[in-house]
Amino acid sequence: MRLSAETEELLQVVTVLDDRIDAAVALEFKENVRQITETAPATVILDLSAVVFIDSSGLGAIVATMKHLAPQRTLVLAGLTAPVDRVFRLTRMDSVFSLYPTLSHALEDLS
Amino acid sequence: MRLSAETEELLQVVTVLDDRIDAAVALEFKENVRQITETAPATVILDLSAVVFIDSSGLGAIVATMKHLAPQRTLVLAGLTAPVDRVFRLTRMDSVFSLYPTLSHALEDLS
Amino acid sequence: MVARNQGDKVGRDNAFVGVFEMSLAGRTQAVRDALTTCRAHLSTICRNSEKLDDIELVIAETLNNIVEHALAERQDDAPIQISCTQDGDLISLVFKDSGIPFANHTPPGPKQVGTIAHAKSLPEGGYGWGLIHHLAHDISYVRVNQHNVLTIVFDGVTSITDNAQKPS
Amino acid sequence: MVARNQGDKVGRDNAFVGVFEMSLAGRTQAVRDALTTCRAHLSTICRNSEKLDDIELVIAETLNNIVEHALAERQDDAPIQISCTQDGDLISLVFKDSGIPFANHTPPGPKQVGTIAHAKSLPEGGYGWGLIHHLAHDISYVRVNQHNVLTIVFDGVTSITDNAQKPS
Ligand SMILES: Nc1ncnc2c1ncn2[C@@H]1O[C@H](COP(=O)(O)OP(=O)(O)O)[C@@H](O)[C@H]1O
Ligand SMILES: Nc1ncnc2c1ncn2[C@@H]1O[C@H](COP(=O)(O)OP(=O)(O)O)[C@@H](O)[C@H]1O
């Protein structure tokens, strides 16, 4: 599970470089994000624009990350492709997370 | 309507840099794409990953572009954000165009 | 462009409560700003971004049509009025303009956009009313005092459930 | 992993015609490749990428569950068999494994994942069967000869119309 991160003063962007967040990588994803966000500022934007498949294990890993970061830090999601956006809506996770269609829309709104 | 293009031997990637393709820019979009694809190879990939809003005028402009490029060249669409993907499905344009969730998936499939 | 948020009841004819009212100049360049304003107002009562996308698209199609068809011959940027009211899970958007009426005083029906075998014959326009019919819950039109009054109602606005979800 | 495309009728009990059959080792690492294979087969009969996404997701959830629950105690990578048949607009996927049965010999029902006020109490799992129920047309389960046989049917597979479209 490859990630990259860029940190500014008030926010950190974590980009998922793999195209699937599924049962095979959910644990690794959770651990890697935990490490990379260790010293993160108040807002963490998870850039999912490369991801085209997420299953319930991947969803669970994102929920776990959000809970781990709370309450000091907020996790928001950006760049959801259509199939990923669909899974968030079907599970009503769109009422739990702030979802931005692109990273630049998230940055514009949060900076 | 800002566009950028990168041309390889067998395909060209045209990236839309604005975030809306609507009635206000539909004509300009059509003309700019026409210019930028003038010497395009067989496949043109339109990267829509920055676009979060398209209306029926924007849709019409993309259809016009596809017809203008045909029959020598094929237009495929990549990086559709969730709201743009939705408009393509509602108008059944998903049966007319090849839609790729990300640019890298389009490149992988077409190269 | 004039916009204000009404918190109080308008009490026009039923339980619909004012959400916002605005007016814009009837030209293409004014539509984008109007959409931003509408979406900002609507986001105070609708938490579902997919529903907001749908409503924004329908407002865009409606305003573009008024500018391009009803007001096409007008040189004076005749204004378009929008008022939005809410009744529980429904919102009602009323568009008023002083342009020419619809042909036969009836708005276009839902267009059948089928599978298109020949890309060359695919139309480059005419998708607007198809989208409006798909996304709206109800559409009604009256011609009053040389004005077009088009009312478009949306359902499922305040509930979290989204369209993609199957009723199970 | 074994996979083959069947063009001929299987004529098991109705008009369903074979689309493909495959088997995979019952471990997490084998699921991805199995999904790629299934999607490749399904894309020959389904042109709607959103429907393919849905079916892929349901297969993923089903296989993950079999690996994580039915076969959890097994050390031998017991195989999972998948067979897919088509009857017009319907496809039927049958999953067969030699693992432990469902509790009460009944698959879980659709979970109610409501609005969650407190992020801290949000579950980190248990969304799988909710998704399967949402996306599938029909689900049935039998236990035969110490095997689980789970059948999941999808509708609207060959038609172009997609789920996002309202019946008007
Ligand atoms: N507000 C309006 N006033 C008068 N005529 C209209 C209006 N809106 C639409 N029409 C007519 O209905 C037709 C179909 O509209 P639409 O589906 O939006 O397609 P388009 O505007 O791209 O032609 C238009 O071409 C026009 O003739
Ligand atoms: N194939 C299966 N065999 C036995 N039990 C299962 C199977 N699939 C699911 N279950 C049971 O149903 C529960 C709910 O499944 P699911 O909604 O997929 O959530 P999760 O797998 O994340 O716990 C599981 O926790 C498990 O107890």
Cβ of B23 within 8 Å of Cβ of C135? The answer is no
pLDDT digits (tens, 9 = 90+) for C91-147: 999 999 999 999 999 999 886 444 454 455 788 888 999 999 999 999 999 999 999
C-alpha C27 chain-centroid distance? 16
Ligand 1 centroid – CA C65 distance (Å): 6
Count other C-beta atoms under 10 Å from residue C128's C-beta: 26
Distance D69 CA to ligand 2 centre (A): 6
- Report the SS3 class of residue C89: coil
Question: Which atom, in ligand 1's list, is nearest to the CA of C108?
Answer: 12
Looking at residue C13, its pLDDT comes to 53
Look at ligand 2, atom 19, and give the residue with the nearest C-alpha: D126
Residues present in chain A in total = 111
Ligand 1 mutation pick, C66, C67, C69, max ligand atoms within 8 A of CB:
C69
Is any Cβ of chain A less than 8 angstroms from the Cβ of B50?
Answer: yes
Average pLDDT, integer, range A68-86: 96
Q: What is the CATH number of the domain that holds A53?
A: 3.30.750.24
Please provide the average confidence, as pLDDT, over all residues in chain C.
Answer: 85
The DSSP letter of residue A79 is -
Residues near ligand 2 with C-beta < 6 Å? A 56; D 61, 65-66, 68-70, 102, 108, 125-126, 128-129
Is the confidence at residue C7, as pLDDT, over 70?
Answer: no
pLDDT > 90? residue D165: no
Q: Which residues of A touch B101 (CB under 8 A)?
A: 52, 81-83
The pTM assigned to this predicted structure is 0.86
- The reply to whether B30 falls in a domain is yes
Tens of pLDDT, residues C47-90:
899 999 999 999 999 999 999 999 999 989 899 999 999 999 99
Does A111 map to a domain? no
Q: Is the dihedral of CA C4, C5, C8, C9 positive or negative?
A: positive
Q: In what order do the strands lie in the sheet with D147-154?
A: D2-5, D17-25, D79-87, D90-97, D147-154, D138-144
Return the pLDDT at C119.
Answer: 52
CA angle A71, A76, A82 (to 5 degrees): 150
Q: Between chains, do B96 and C120 touch, taking CB under 8 Å as contact?
A: no
Predicted pLDDT at C16 = 84
Residue-level pLDDT at D123:
86
Q: Tell whether A50 is covered by a domain.
A: yes
Least confident range of A53-57, A98-102, D164-168: D164-168
Alpha-carbon Rg for chain B in angstroms? 12
- How confident is the model at residue D160, as a pLDDT? 61
Grade residue C19 by pLDDT with cuts at 50, 70 and 90: very high
What is the residue type of B33?
V
Q: Is residue A89 part of a domain?
A: yes
Q: How many CB atoms lie within 10 A of CB A6?
A: 11
Q: Which CATH architecture has domain C2-154?
A: 2-Layer Sandwich (3.30)
Burial, A17: exposed, middle or buried (Cβ in 10 Å; 0-12, 13-18, 19+)? exposed
Which residues make Cβ contacts (< 8 Å) with residue C43, sequence separation at least 6?
C52
Q: Which helix (H) or strand (E) holds C54?
A: helix C49-65
pLDDT grade, residue C159 (50/70/90)?
Answer: confident
Nearest to D124 among A24, A60, A70 (CB): A60
Mutation target among D122, D129, D134 for the A interface, most CBs of A within 10 A: D122
User: HSE of D52 in the Cβ direction (CA atoms, 13 Å)?
Assistant: 22
> Starting at the edge strand that comes first in sequence, how are the strands of the sheet with B43-47 ordered?
B3-7, B11-16, B43-47, B74-78, B99-100
Q: State percent of chain C over pLDDT 90.
A: 71
Question: Where exactly are the structural domains of chain D?
Answer: 2-154
In terms of CA atoms, which chain D residue is nearest residue A83?
A: D53
Domain count, chain A: 1
- DSSP code per residue over B39-66: T--SEEEEE-TT--EE-HHHHHHHHHHH
The ligand with the least distance to the CA atom of C72 is 1
Range(s) of the domain holding residue A65: 3-106
* Residue B2 touches partner D, C-beta closer than 8 Å: no
Tally the residues of chain D: 168
Question: What share of chain C in percent tops pLDDT 70?
Answer: 80
Residue C143 and residue C80: Cα distance in Å, rounded? 14
For residue B38, tell me if it sits in a domain.
yes
Q: Under DSSP, is residue D16 helix (H, G, I), strand (E, B) or coil?
A: coil
pLDDT exceeds 70 at position A73? yes
| Whether B46 contacts B16, CB under 8 Å | yes
